[in-house]
């Protein structure tokens, strides 16, 4: 396993992590783990491969419970990350996200219990709560560090201005954002701020919600309850145009003698030494395929070919629906 430093002053962690949303029973992807036994087997294989950075969240169904079962007896091998902020049923009540100090403390204690651990290595706010000053939220997270319940803290999908404010209260080890050949948003403002402040980027959905993994060719390949059926990039003409980009990237992957997923992951890894992708999967075979991307070397010419195949801004459709898009970059 290759390693990278998470932020200027953070720990060394595997250059690739495992995104654990896919193992939660409430996962709404076509391919997701359903049983505890499947999840434990998958995560044990991940640890055996050296992918010991596990990223979950309290909103991912029973993902934290399954992670807890998988790491029992192997806690010292794992860099454990989880997230808080989304409130179950909160959207209906008009408050989908809670960043109050009291909620931060309660959420952390609940996650510790579900995970069966005495500390969390990286505790992240899933979305910024604009009804609470970020200074209050991060201050409460800093208190968790002082109490020994958390080692490092981070934010997910914040604005550049929020990152600066938060970092003044307590150093951020990382920011988690969607980042892939298909989603280049962080390049405008987020990555420059992270480079300046010495904060790492954890790239979720590095396979473009599955587009870049070569998992499907039509909407018929998705189950009826797959949430991507309502995703803007999967609608009608947008889906067709985005698949055309995938076709071009598959040609580049063929030239490199790697899979499209490996090409996409290698691209993220080559975008900066402070970037760590966290692809998720429910398949051991796909997990092994993803890990092999660490051995895919991309030349400057390769990066140019990838850019030509899928230029920045070429993807059609927003990366979230209208409700969710309002919760990012805040």
Characterize 128-162 residue by residue with b for buried, 16 or more Cβ atoms within 10 angstroms of its Cβ, and e for exposed: bbeebebeebbebbbbbbeeebbbbbbbbbbbbeb
d(CA 176, CA 139): 19
Q: 90 — phi, psi (to 5°)?
A: -70, -30
d(CA 23, CA 159): 29
Q: Is 60 a catalytic residue?
A: yes
CA angle 187, 6, 264 (to 5 degrees): 50
- The token pair at 79 is 């860099």
d(CA 303, CA 38): 37
Q: Which of 60, 103, 152, 204 is catalytic?
A: 60
- The token pair at 254 is 């063929």
CB count, 10 Å around CB of 316?
A: 17
DSSP state string for 197-213: HT-EEEEESTTGGGGGG
Q: 198 — phi, psi (to 5°)?
A: 75, 40
Q: Residues 66, 23: contact at Cβ < 8 Å?
A: yes
Residue whose pair of structure tokens reads 């391919």 in the numeric block: 31
| Positions marked active-site | 60
């Amino acid at each position: 396993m290759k390693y990278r430093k998470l932020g200027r002053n953070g720990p060394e962690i595997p250059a690739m992590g495992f995104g654990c949303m896919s193992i939660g029973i409430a996962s709404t992807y076509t391919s997701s783990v359903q049983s505890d036994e499947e999840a434990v087997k998958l995560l044990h294989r991940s640890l055996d491969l050296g992918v010991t950075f596990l990223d979950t969240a309290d909103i991912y169904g029973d993902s934290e419970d399954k992670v807890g079962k998988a790491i029992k007896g192997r806690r010292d091998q794992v860099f454990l990350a989880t997230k808080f902020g989304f409130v179950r049923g909160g959207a209906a009540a008009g408050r989908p996200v809670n960043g109050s100090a009291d909620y931060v403390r309660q959420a952390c204690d609940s996650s510790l219990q579900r995970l069966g651990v005495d500390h969390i290595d990286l505790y992240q706010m899933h979305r910024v709560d604009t009804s609470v000053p970020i200074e209050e939220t991060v201050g409460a997270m800093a208190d968790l560090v002082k109490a020994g319940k958390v080692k490092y803290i981070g934010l997910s999908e914040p604005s550049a201005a929020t990152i600066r404010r938060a970092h003044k209260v307590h150093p951020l080890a990382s920011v988690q954002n969607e980042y892939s050949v298909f989603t280049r948003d962080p390049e405008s403002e987020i990555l420059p701020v992270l480079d300046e402040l010495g904060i790492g980027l954890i790239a979720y959905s590095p396979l473009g919600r599955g587009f870049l993994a070569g998992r499907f060719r039509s909407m018929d390949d998705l189950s009826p309850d797959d949430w991507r059926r309502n995703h803007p990039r999967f609608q009608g003409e947008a889906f067709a145009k985005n698949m055309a980009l995938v076709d071009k990237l598959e040609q580049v992957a063929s030239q490199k003698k790697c899979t499209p997923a490996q090409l996409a992951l290698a691209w993220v890894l080559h975008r900066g030494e402070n970037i760590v992708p966290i692809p998720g999967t429910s398949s051991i075979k796909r997990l092994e395929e993803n890990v092999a991307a660490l051995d895919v070397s991309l030349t400057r010419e390769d990066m140019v070919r990838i850019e030509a195949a899928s230029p920045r801004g070429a993807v059609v459709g927003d990366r979230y629906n209208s409700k969710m898009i309002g919760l990012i970059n805040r």
